[in-house]
A and B are shown apart, each in its own frame.
Chain A
Amino acid sequence: MESKPLHSVAATFDDVNKLMNAVHKVNEVGYKQYDVHSPYPIHGLPQAMKLKPSKLGFVTLIFGISGAIFAFLFMYWVNVIDYPLVVGGKPFYQLPAYIPVMFEVTVLSASVFTIVWMLFIMFKFPNLSHPLLDTEYMKKVSVDRYGISIQSKDDLFDLNKVKEFFKEIGAEEIFEIYYKVDELKDKPKIFDKKFISFSALTFIIVSGITYFVLNHLLFMPPFDWMHEQFRVDPQTTTTVFNDNFGMRNPVEGSVARGFIPYPFKGKPAEAEKFLINPLIPSKEVLELGKQKYLTFCSPCHGDFGMGDSRLRGQFPNPPTLHSDKLRNMRDGGIYHIIVEGQNVMPGYASQVNEEERWAIVHYIRVLQRSVNPKESDLR
């Protein structure tokens, strides 16, 4: 007996009124560390025990609000910053469409985190044991008795006095409740074999069912009805159109988004005459031009435009970019060559966009000036 530390002294009562009376008496004497157990919730008991209202509501509120804020920020980041996509002609930032999602996430976050908070902070999970569990006292108060237990850590606690006190106020039975020593020593049994194997089993079953449903069940009749849809797939024929092509050509004259048709096809002279470089040479523009030049132009023209190809004669070497002809050619002419190509050189219209082409032209000018500097550059 000496080795077993005392947790509390508990008493049962056979009547709610006796219990309420007892709770008042306990308060009068001044015990603070006590708890009441009953088979069902009793109205007015928390008030009689002078319990403060639960703080759980604030936890729910805080997690609800943070859920709403998180949902808003996440959607804002996705829709406005990371991957802007036009949906239904609406602006990227569209508060009305966010609100239902914010509402759902608020509810989800508030409820899930309330339960998590209760389990881990309030009930101290994974600690599964309490000295009161598995006692005769707990059996009685779970069925048809009402009980009070006064804990030994109370300042006024004295074993005999408490027993005397319980007898005085009309207790039916009195129990001494001890800590179970092995439970005190043991760590919480989260690594218990049963617990681990049950978790593993649950994981295997759930993931197995999910895998089966998604990869097999949905491909078996009659569950595969969603796979056969009334639509024309890419690269297939159809009877809807006369030419039986499922994929349609764009309407003549249609222009892709962000693409401007080149008006000087096969007209290098006019391109040189009319095209004007819209970019003003700046550090950013020249860096862009350098990067694109080194990626697309330098394999043949060489890093400095000398015509020293790195391709070891597999292609005829191009002429140098420092010739008088090219130095005197206007920007539009070089631009036209980039778009359409010249002699053996193919067009690079699909590799570099308009802005990048003009930046390359600027960079070529830089290379030319470095080989044949103007008077003013040398000063």
Chain B
Amino acid sequence: MSSELKIPEKKNISSKTKFLAFGLFGIGLLLSLVAFVVDSHRALANYNIIFTFLVSISIGNLFWFAIEYLSGAVWSTVMRRVNEIFISFIPIVFVMGLMVLFNSHSIFHWAHEEAVKNDKLLQAKSPYLNEEFFTIRYFIYFVLWILFAYLVTKNSLKQDESKDQLLTYKNSKLSAIFLPIFAITLTFFSIDFLMSTEPHWFSTIFGVYYFSGTALASVAIVTLAIILLYEKGYFENILRKDHFYNFGALLFAFVNFWAYIAFSQFLLIWYANLPEETFWMIHRWENGWQIFSFILIFGHFLIPYFSLLSQQAKSNLSRLKFMSIWILLMHYIDLYWLAMPSLYKNVTFGWIEISFLILGIGFTLTLFVIRFDKIKNIIPVGDPKLKRSLEFHL
């Protein structure tokens, strides 16, 4: 069957793109180093946001990878290599996170012993929120994620050579084991790195909130990568409108899901009106932070919602490209909105934030370019679902 397939030859990424990627990364690195010298506290807080953003897109892709195997999805099989590129970020993201771990004092209020001593609430939470357990948890998350990422990508790459159908079955089984683990680890990860910046707050829906952003951002980044590659001619004669329509539909669905979860969190806090919960929302509604709250309501929900509402818009490439960049930016602002107001009373958005944003973009691009050069085939040539995926019709 696979002998009939025309396997497209893989081209390498142009040096111009590489120059852009390395350039952005270099500028970002330089600027953020300056930021560390000028205001290390704020720089670290921003570093934490970029770190959680990279976790979002890498672990989110692992989630979609598992979902593809578990649901037996056909349309996305052609694009799986791109998923795998983002999944391969995970070990590097792990190393990045160590920096947050070593500097937990300047990001997390609960890491100060003298603060915990005089605070009944923090004392009650200290069996969970203490540095030892925090470190252990960090390693548990990443060991599980890296282990699964390693196993499934190894199977997927081996299939290119051996064309063994059993490997698909193996990956499906692994995915079934991984998904519950993913749900638990991602929930606790979000509690540790984002929610615990404000350790006095309570919200039981927080893990789902972060997951909704994660799933959305990882679809957005794959959409963006696929469209950019397609425009450069990498997926010519492989991808059709029907494939892109599914990306549009997923983006639309998860824009709604995010809004649903975000509103659920807000509505319950607003209705119950308990001071230990409402202060978090009130803080994000004053001292200039309300601008970011408004940006989220409009930019993270209403604008993408109406842009992707119609059937034509979901397979309109320029619209999809713009919307996926937009959604990624909104996900960054969402994370910023979650973590930053807990540390700063007044709004802080200046060159430090921008330089870390450049660092994040440059880092992602550079890693993508390096990884893309390493892979042999841009489509999984040994996958038994490939032919159906190529012929996919809505």
Q: Contact residues of A with B, CB < 8 Å?
A: 43, 53, 57, 61, 88-89, 96-97, 99-100
Distance of A62 from chain B, by nearest CB (Å): 13
Q: Contact residues of B with A, CB < 8 Å?
A: 263, 266-267, 270-271, 273, 309-312, 393-394
- Residues of B near A57 (CB, < 8 A) are 310-311
Instruction: Give me 19 A-to-B residue pairs in the complex whose CB atoms sit less than 8 angstroms apart, sorted by A's number.
Output: A43-B393, A43-B394, A53-B311, A53-B312, A57-B310, A57-B311, A61-B309, A88-B271, A88-B273, A89-B273, A96-B266, A96-B267, A96-B270, A96-B271, A97-B267, A97-B271, A99-B263, A99-B267, A100-B267
Q: Which of A57, A89, A96, A99 has the most CB of B within 10 A?
A: A96
Residue of B nearest to A97 (CB): B271
Question: SS class of chain B's interface: helix, strand, loop or mixed?
Answer: loop
- Residues of B near A89 (CB, < 8 A) are 273
- Residues of A near B273 (CB, < 8 A) are 88-89
- How many Å lie between the Cα of A96 and that of B311 in the bound state? 30
Residue of A nearest to B242 (CB): A43
Distance of B298 from chain A, by nearest CB (Å): 15
- How many Å lie between the Cα of A61 and that of B309 in the bound state? 10
- Residues of A near B267 (CB, < 8 A) are 96-97, 99-100
Residue of B nearest to A96 (CB): B270
Question: SS class of chain A's interface: helix, strand, loop or mixed?
Answer: helix
Residue of B nearest to A100 (CB): B267
- Residues of A near B312 (CB, < 8 A) are 53
Which 4 residue pairs of A and B lie closest in terms of their CB atoms, listed nearest first?
A43-B393, A96-B270, A96-B267, A99-B263
- Residues of A near B263 (CB, < 8 A) are 99
- How many Å lie between the Cα of A100 and that of B259 in the bound state? 12
Distance of A131 from chain B, by nearest CB (Å): 32
- How many Å lie between the Cα of A84 and that of B290 in the bound state? 29
- Residues of A near B394 (CB, < 8 A) are 43
Distance of B294 from chain A, by nearest CB (Å): 14
Residue of B nearest to A53 (CB): B311
- How many Å lie between the Cα of A99 and that of B394 in the bound state? 34
- Residues of B near A100 (CB, < 8 A) are 267
Residue of A nearest to B306 (CB): A61
- How many Å lie between the Cα of A88 and that of B270 in the bound state? 11
Distance of B280 from chain A, by nearest CB (Å): 15
Distance of A77 from chain B, by nearest CB (Å): 22
- How many Å lie between the Cα of A100 and that of B267 in the bound state? 9
- How many Å lie between the Cα of A312 and that of B190 in the bound state? 85
- Residues of B near A61 (CB, < 8 A) are 309
- How many Å lie between the Cα of A97 and that of B309 in the bound state? 25
- Residues of A near B271 (CB, < 8 A) are 88, 96-97
- How many Å lie between the Cα of A99 and that of B259 in the bound state? 12
